[in-house]
Amino acid sequence: MLKIENLQVNVGDKNILQGIDLEVKAGEVHAIMGPNGSGKSTLSNVIAGKDGYDITQGKMTFLNQDLTTLEPEDRARKGLFLSFQYPVEIPGVSNIYLLKAALNAKRAEDGLDEIDAFDFLQLVKSKMAELKMDEDFLYRDINSGFSGGEKKRNEILQMSLLEPKLAILDETDSGLDIDALKIVAEGINRLRSADKGIILVTHYQRLLDYVQPDFVHVLAKGKIQKSGDKSLALTLEKSGYAGIND
C-alpha cells in the first residue's frame, strides 16, 4: 500500500534522506531502527505531509496515489496515520473535540454520515477502557500537561478510534513504563490485520517482543543500510549499529 522509491529529502541545504526505498504491503509490519539523527522522524513526517521538507527526488505512493500532491488532512482521511514522536500540546482545543472531528472527517471521506453523539461516546469510551485511560482525558486540552507516557497512549487512542489503513508509529514505545508498553503493544496488535500496514519506528527490542515485525530495516545516514527479518533486531540489540554500513 505504501511504496517509496529513491526518496531524497532536504531540509534547507542539508540532505537528510539520501535515497530511501521502502514498500509496505497490506498485512505487513515493518520496524525501522537506526541511530539518533539518522532520519527516521524525517521520513515519517514526509510521509504524513509535514511542511518544511524539500523532496528533491523520488516517488511516494499510498494506495497507488501520488502522496506528494495530497495535503496532510487528505492523507489522514485516506487512512494514513502518524503517531508523533513528540505529540504536540494544544491548549484551548479539547481532546474529545479532536477525536470526534477526526473521526467525522474520515467518515465523510468514506461517504458516511457524522457519528451520532451517543454512539461516539460509547465507542471512544470502549477504546479508552482497552487502553486503561481515564475518561477525564477526553475533556482535557489535547496533550496539555499530559505526562510523556500519557501523550503516547493518547496517540494510540486516536489510532484505535480511526483504524487507519497504514499506521506509522514514531517511537511510540519511548517513555512508556513496562505496563504501559504492554497496553500500547496490545493496541497495536488489535489494529494488525490482513488489510492494514504498520511501520514501527523504534530503538528497542522490547516493543518488538510484543509486536513481532515481518521486516526490520536499519536506517542510517539517510539510507536504509540493511533489511532483514525480526532476527536483525536481535542482532542489533547485541552488537549495536557498528559495522552496519559495510
Partner 1 sequence: MQQHLIEQYQQHKQNFVGYKDEWLVELREEALAYFLDKGLPTTKEEHYKYTNLNKLARSSYHLSHASSSVSKEQISNRVINTSNNILVFINGYYSASHSQIVESHNNLYIANFATALKEKNKLITNYLGKQVSLDNSITALNTVMHQDGAVILLDKNVKVEHPIELVFIHHDDDKSMQHVRNLVIASENSQATLIEHHYALDESEYLKTIITEIDSGANSQLNYYKLQCENKNAHQLSQLDVHQHQDSHFNYMSLDIGGKLIRHDINIKLLSSNATCQLNGLYIAKSKQHIDNHTCIEHQSPYSTSMENFKGILDDKARAVFNGRVIVQEGAIKTNAQQNNANLLLSNDAEIDTKPQLEIFNDDVQCAHGATVGQLDEQALFYLCARGIDQQQAKTLLTFGFAKALINAISDSRIRHKFTELALSKLDAEQLIQESF
Q: With binding defined as CB under 8 A, does residue 94 bind partner 1?
A: yes
Q: How far apart, in whole angstroms, are the C-alpha atoms of residue 193 and residue 190?
A: 8
Q: With binding defined as CB under 6 A, does residue 85 bind ligand ATP?
A: yes
Residue where the block lists cell 495535503: 71
Q: Which of 9, 22, 33, 38 binds ligand ATP (CB under 6 A)?
A: 38
The binder of 217, among ligand ATP, partner 1, Mg ion, none, by C-beta within 5 to 8 A per type, is none
Q: With binding defined as CB under 8 A, does residue 145 bind partner 1?
A: no
Q: Is 222 helix (H, G, I), strand (E, B) or coil?
A: coil
Window of 30-38, 98-106, 113-121, 186-194 that interacts with ligand ATP by CB under 6 A: 30-38
User: Both ends of the chain: CA-CA distance in Å?
Assistant: 30
Would you give the binding string for partner 1 spanning residues 38-57, x where CB under 8 A is met? ----------xxxx------
Residue, CB closest to Mg ion: 41
Q: Which of 11, 57, 68, 90 binds partner 1 (CB under 8 A)?
A: 90
Residue 20's nearest CA partner among 36, 37, 32, 35 is 32
Q: With binding defined as CB under 8 A, does residue 243 bind partner 1?
A: no
The dihedrals phi and psi of 116, each to the nearest 5 degrees, come to: -65, 140
Q: Which of 39/87 has CB closer to ligand ATP? A: 39
Residue where the block lists cell 527479518: 229
Q: Which of 77/127 has CB closer to partner 1? A: 77
Degrees, nearest 5: CA angle 192-193-194 = 145
Q: With binding defined as CB under 6 A, does residue 202 bind ligand ATP?
A: no
Q: How far apart, in whole angstroms, are the C-alpha atoms of residue 5 and residue 22?
A: 7
DSSP, residue by residue, 32-65: EE--TTSSHHHHHHHHHT-TT-EEEEEEEEETTE
Residue ranges binding ligand ATP (CB under 6 A): 11, 14, 16, 34, 36-42, 52, 85
Residue ranges binding Mg ion (CB under 5 A): 40-41, 85
